Structures are given as structure tokens and as C-alpha cells.
Amino acid sequence: MNFETSELTQQVAQTARDFAQQHIKPYVMDWDESQTFPVEVFKEMGKLGLMGVLVPEKYEGAGLTYLEYVAILQEIGKVCGSVGLSVAAHNSLCTGHIMAFGNEEQKQKYLPKLATAQWLGAWGLTEPNTGSDAGNMKTTAVRDGDHWVLNGTKCWITHGKSGDVAVVIARTGEPRSKDNATAFVVERGTPGFSGGKKENKLGMRASETAEMIFDNCRIPDANRLGEVGAGFKQSLKVLDGGRISIAALSLGIAKGAYEASVQYSKERHQFDQPIANFQGISFKLADMATEIMAAELLTLQACDLKIRGEQMTKEAAMAKYYASEVAVKVANDAVQIFGGYGYTKDFPVEKYYRDSKLCTIGEGTSEIQKLVISREVLKA
């Protein structure tokens, strides 16, 4: 790997940094308190190419690599984890699935609208009783001539109510049988497709998380992504890339908490000196800096493999697992450094603390990442 950051990556990061400072930072706590999903902000990001980072230019995307994508998510995550989460879900899950497994007609139809944020994307795999146990999903798609009829409920879906288009994985075979799921594109407004309950969350409160409900939802076979029965295998590949997204978002949250802690430790005085002078504080900062750098290197390694088209299931899982756990630890230590002030909403670290926890759960819990890693290790 070449560890030198390219000029292009630096420029893209600066664009995301400037946008976050101007259009996101002033409103972060208002959105968090009211659980407002700021749709117009994503429309503006679409104009800058931040919502179609990896989409080729011929589909009106930015045509960038995972290195630029990770840089963007870090810069946005430093300011607001909620906005970063929605950017990640839109880019890597919905858009990424269509980009990887859609046919040319589907790509021409959907990618330009997604890449420019004319449409927001959702991705539906998880269900109320089948989170990691996706082979037992209850949402079904039954073929009826040249159409499919979908029935069931998906939960914990980013943009479940507000998304304009969703990639949905539904069971087309018997429960727990091999190759029993298929992916479909479902547009908002299709009869029988509706948004359900919006979740009231601990953190990431400005990122909409809601149910998607399918009640005899009839869609044409032209909306099927890839072969019948290939949906779960497709999802695993999509999640490999999605785990890099969450690793990058975790890094952004961790760096935001760390940078706020460094600044505060220099400004806060006790016993006539900055608290940064005390070993109890400085050692926390040392641990933060070391663990963030380790997490970043794991993430860049996964990016490098992804860009080169090599197998990176293990490396993506390692990056997601470690970076998300580091984000929680760094945010926790940041609250401790801030003391009583860290527990109030007048200072930024309590939000980093609340937001960070989701990173250890979404797109596969830390326990699932360990399962993935151990399986890959034992293969060798």
C-alpha cells in the first residue's frame, strides 16, 4: 500500500469538510433534539457528488474510489454521525447493490437519480425476527406471471419512510433452504409499499430509521436484481463494502471526539494548569490517538483490497469491528475528560458517545464480525 494521501483525496476531503462546517454543524443539535431528517441537505450534497461517490461518471456519479469515499465519511462523521450514516447507507447499500448487480437498463434507470440525490435510497434485509438470521426471513416474493408479489415487513431501515427507491431482499424459496432469497428494486408509490413505524433512537437521531411494509406489493420481473435465489449472496458482497462505510463513519466519530478532547484538555484548567498536563488525561489521549490510527490502517487496508478487486471479507470485518469498538471507547473517554460538562448537551462529546454505539450494531454486530473473521481465519 501507498500511505501517501493523493491530492485528489485531499481535495475531496476538503470539500466534504467545508460542506459539513457550513451546512451541517450549525444545525446538528436542533436536528438531534427534534429527530429531523434533513432531506434538503442530502439534495445539496448530491450536487457536489457526495451521494454518488463511487458511481461512474456515465451514470452522473463522481466516479471516485473507496479512498475518497472513506475520506468523505470521516469528515461528515466528525461533525454529525447521523448525516454520515445516511450518506453511507445511500451510497454503499442501495446504490452499491444496484451498481454491482443491476443490468444496464436498471443502472441507466436508477443510478443517475441516486447519484445526484434526486432520489434517496433504502436497503431492506433486516426483519423484526430475523436480524443476522436472514435465511429465515418472513418477507416473501411469489411469482405471478411476469410480476412478483411481495408481502412482509422490514425493520431498522435507513430511509424506510423517506426513501424514493429501495432494494429489498425477499424470500423466494423455503426457509433456511439454499439460495432462497432474491433482490428487487421497489419504487416509492408502488401500491402495497409503505413506510411504517419510525424508531425513537438513543443516537443517530437525525438519520431516519423506520419500517418498510409490503402488503401484496406487485412489481414487474424487470425490477429483479440478478438471478432468482442470488439475493443473499449479493447481500453478503454488498455488506463487505458497507462494513468499510461503517468503519469510516466510526473513524469520523472517534476523530471528532478525540479532537474535541485535545482542545478541551488544553483549555480547561485545574490546580492552576491545563488538565492536559495531568498523566490521567494525557494517557487517555495517547490511547485514543494510537487506537484511531490502528483503526484507520485497518480501514485503508480493506479499501486497498476493494479497489484492486481482491477478496476482502475478513479485512472489511476487521476494520468495521475494530473501528466501531474504538469509536465507543474514544467517545466514552472523551466524556470522562470533559467531566460533568461532557454529560451535558452544551458540549459535543455526549452526542459522539450516543452516536458511536450504533456503529457496533449496524451492518452486522461486533459479534457477527468476530464470526466472519473467525470463519475466514479457519479457512486458512
Helix 231-267 / helix 349-356 crossing angle, nearest 10 deg: 160
Which pairs count as long-range contacts for 224-228, CB under 8 Å and 24+ apart, including other chains? 224/148, 224/182, 224/183, 224/184, 225/97, 225/98, 225/101, 225/102, 225/106, 225/167, 225/182, 225/183, 225/184, 225/185, 226/101, 226/182, 226/183, 227/182, 228/172, 228/182
Cα separation, 24 vs 29, in Å, equals 10
Element of type H or E holding 244: helix 231-267
Angle in degrees, CA 231, 236, 239, rounded to 5:
120
Active site residue 267: no
Cell numbers given for 337: 475528560
Cα separation, 112 vs 114, whole angstroms: 5
**Is the separation of the CB atoms in 88 and 245 below 8 Å?**
yes
Give the separation between CA 129 and CA 143, rounded to whole angstroms: 24
Give me the catalytic one of 104, 325, 363, 376: 363
Helix (H, G, I), strand (E, B) or coil at 13: helix
Catalytic residues: 363
